[in-house]
Amino acid sequence: MKNIQDGKNHTEKRYVICMKWGTKYPAEYVNRLYNMVSRNLTLDFQMVCLTDDETGIVPEVKCYPIPELSLTSNLPERGWKKLTTFKPELYDLKGTALFLDIDIVITDNIDCFFTHQAKHDDSVMIIRDWKKPWRMIGNSSVYRFSIGENKYPNLLSNFEQNFETIRGEVRHEQAYLSNYLREHHHLEYWDESWCVSFKYHCIKPFPLSFVQAPSIPDTPNNPAKIVIFHGEVNPHDAIKGGGGKWYRKVLPSPWIEEYWR
């Protein structure tokens, strides 16, 4: 395990944070994510999982309860819980945090997600959404932020206090996050080649998807580092094939097993 070295200034501490709740994803997803990060990150780090059930998660991953949100109960799940990573004080974690969804697949070295220099001290680095990039909305499958530095003190409280208005304006947490940061802080985007969408970049366009299996985009000079699974298909679905829309057929993709382990 690549732990954070004792005695370092807290700004040098690096955390890889993920979140698991409910029953959609088993502990195996967290453990595989830890393994992928360990193989592809040469920098010291501590893995943290915010979860409602730590059963089966390997001891190398530090688990904490997901902080509570002051929202109306029984609402459709829109990823709102991910916003709790911006609590001004989150379990005394202090440093730089890279949030990763647990259903991603890491395919190359990810040091750059920590070493990349943002233009502004209060910037959050995020994927620029692929479907409608002109909206300047980030995809929150991979984002980096300062944790425990109180750089975004009102991001979460504003969300809780104005939730009824916000939920009528945006559908997901990443839209609120993007809009708030662009208005009150800074939002910057990763190099577009670093994170690719399995849905939009790996699956071939119709009708080729019916005869050609998904593959990582061929960019040898700047290879993709993380494949994002969003929508209907998860890594275990993609390996065996199936699970997509009829016009976005997913043929078996056994190459995923090389990375997702």
**What is residue 135's predicted lDDT score, i.e. its pLDDT?**
82
Q: What's the CA gap between 213 and 210, in Å, rounded?
A: 8
**What is residue 73's predicted lDDT score, i.e. its pLDDT?**
61
Summary mean pLDDT of the chain: 91
**What is residue 248's predicted lDDT score, i.e. its pLDDT?**
86
CATH 3.90.550.10 occupies which residues in the chain?
Answer: 10-189
Q: Over 90: is that where the pLDDT of 226 sits?
A: yes
Q: Which amino acid is at 85?
A: T
Q: Which amino acid is at 121?
A: D
Q: β-strands 123-128, 138-147: how paired? A: antiparallel
With residue 44 as reference, give the H or E element that holds it: none
| Inter-CA distances, 114 with 39, 45, 158, 258, Å | 15, 10, 28, 24
Average pLDDT over residues 140-161: 94
Residue 254 tokens read as: 């056994």
Do the Cβ atoms of 19 and 54 come closer than 8 Å? Answer: no
Q: Output 1 or 72, whichever has higher pLDDT.
A: 72
Contacts of 78 (CB under 8 A, 6+ apart): 167, 171, 172, 173
The CATH number fitting domain 10-189, selected from 3.40.50.620, 3.40.50.2000, 2.170.120.20, 3.90.550.10: 3.90.550.10
Average pLDDT over residues 171-186: 95
Q: What's the CA gap between 156 and 152, in Å, rounded?
A: 8
Do the Cβ atoms of 77 and 171 come closer than 8 Å? Answer: no
pTM of the model: 0.93
Contacts of 62 (CB under 8 A, 6+ apart): 46, 47, 48, 49
Cα 75 from chain centre: 22
